[in-house]
Structure 1
Amino acid sequence: MSAVRILATFLMFALVSGPVLADRLKDLTRVKGVRDNQLVGYGLVVGLDGTGDSAPFTSQTFRNMMNRFGITIPEGVNPDTDNVAAVSVHATLPAFAKNGQTLDITVSSLGNADSLRGGTLLMTPLKGADDQVYAMAQGSLVVGGFGAQGQDGSRITVNVPSVGRIPNGATIEREVTSPFTEGDTITLNLLRADFTTARRVVETINGFLGEGMAYAHDATSISVKAPRDPSQRVSFLSILENLDVDPAQEAAKVVINSRTGTIVVGQNVEVSPAAVTHGNLTVTIQENLQVDQPNPFAGGETVVTPNTQIAVTEDPARMFQFGPATTLNEIVQAVNQVGAAPGDVMAVLEALKQAGALRAELIVI
């Protein structure tokens, strides 16, 4: 099928197709090679109101910068850098970013600077993982946090004043080569690897374009034959990514957050027939001090005698039963009827898993 016929078929499909209850391909996949890249740099922030740092590398960087401008600081003279701070600068270079476009950058203190509020970042090169410079950063910082300190040592800090941002603070100087226009195919990578979803993506694309146009490599990658011309490939992908695919249901999982007590039970979780009882044993210890005083003129001493009372209380344990192939709704209803706390539910779920009655993967985070 020629590229022109493919595009014509796409346009006709876009006009006559109606909305369906499924996920778009663009929500399930990402195009291989179309990705962001991380940039990082090291620089100086100047113009601080005495809130800079006193780190040795800050003085060294400041001295090197002055030497580059032809100003030599005598040896043994340590410049006062209270209004200077050494910072790291990082940004994300999006796919298809072009020369001259701008990026938002984040500036973070590397030393013991109290605040970056009011500072200005001097020209800082931003490098990628290949140690090549891809952008130049400079500008005035926007700091959301602030701090105040009294003469007695008391202080208050709101948010984080040692981190700031510069909107459009970096200018792109080098483009990243994208493999988007290379080869005869486009590879789509599923955000969540699943064999069933990969098969359905292939069937949807082939059902629309024709047999053999798409094929799966594994549970993640699906390749689709595409036109070579960049303009046609953009149009091809713009309509391809809007195809609707019914993704496969997730595997049965129960996720427990032991720090917050949050429990999430997946849709396909089932429980085999099981009876569960869970009771609480409470031990209360009360310490009372009894003071014994001698009679007047008896010549004795006041004595303090401890009086300890220990009580053990066991709450009645209520037993509840899970029937065969219990659904998520039935599990929730049973737990609510028992009135179990999150910690108790965790213990019950772990016991069910050990007993082989919980038909799901138990994940504790």
Structure 2
Amino acid sequence: MVNNIDFMNYNLINRKIISNEELEQLINSKEKFYLKVFYEKPETIFKFFPNTSSYNKEIKKDINYSHLALETNEIYLNEPSNFNDPYDCGIYIDREKHWSYFINYYAKLMGIENKDNSKELLIKKLKNFFNENSDIETSINFNYCHTEEERLRLSIFIYKIRNYSFEKISVPDKICYAILKALNDDFLEKKNNLTDKFLISCLTAEKDNILMWSHYANNHKGFCIEYDLSEAKYNYLKLNDEEKNIFNNLFPVVYSGTRKEIVNYNFNGDTFLFWYLLGLLRKYHVWSYEKEWRLTLLKQEYPNHIIKFFPIKAVYCGCKMPKEEIKKIKEIIRGKNIDLYISKIEEDSYKLKFELSK
């Protein structure tokens, strides 16, 4: 039972209990993680829709986007900032540790030695650099930068300090103020990295959860779509590049009772999975009833926030959906080889049953 799991030491992934140690091993092995997820992906997956209309300012009329999802087989990708859980897609970074790391990082790129690892000493040396060099553009020494990325990061950091030092603000030490403000920019950039770069669509492994119907299907007046992943799973090599990208980026959520601190502050290809599992895919265990699978895609690749998803297998209408709305659903899916089910309340249990509509 989920309620009996020690979520401080264990996690729930795709309805399986996994220890913190096992999760660490997966994080440290991309191949094992992606292979595990690939074979555990379900043959069908579900998404709930409210079946309500909202006003579109561009065309100046109401649109039922739930109907549109049925008509076009498209899924909307949302920004994490719009989610109802304030912790969703958030990461935990200790501000003081982060500042200490990047003070040393930028000082190293400038060739400033600091054997005692003193923040105060480094800030003093950085201040001296800016006080002694009026022409910053020609004073930057890139000899200690080993990559183009390091050169770029150092340039941005120095220019930020210079610009912040020109702000009209009354502070005892403008250079120190500018350094700390530039470091805080780094902190906020890292903290918002996941939410700024990705778009997400939330799906689930089950169609009969009462809470899901209540929360995401307009109190059972909406509907649930079942998508068929079997062809993608068993004939993966026949997928086109976009279909593979969508299938590859469908992951089960990690339900946990802890927020693990990010200690590797550089977000790149080597640290991607680490940040991914601790941010985009990690949720507090009280949400585990959702049994969520999460489609996560890069915002820059899908600027319209819309993707064509896998084939629709069936539609399940909520037990409170009016008959006239059911008729509309039938019209939309007519001739599309999609089954339609009507949900009913079980009399002798707290369960829903689904009857195939003829």
TM tier relative to shorter chain: under 0.3
Q: Which has the higher helix share?
A: 2
- TM-score, normalization by structure 1: 0.21
Between the two structures, name the one with larger relative contact order (CA 8 Å, sep ≥ 6).
2
Q: Which has the higher strand share?
A: 1
- TM-score, normalization by structure 2: 0.21
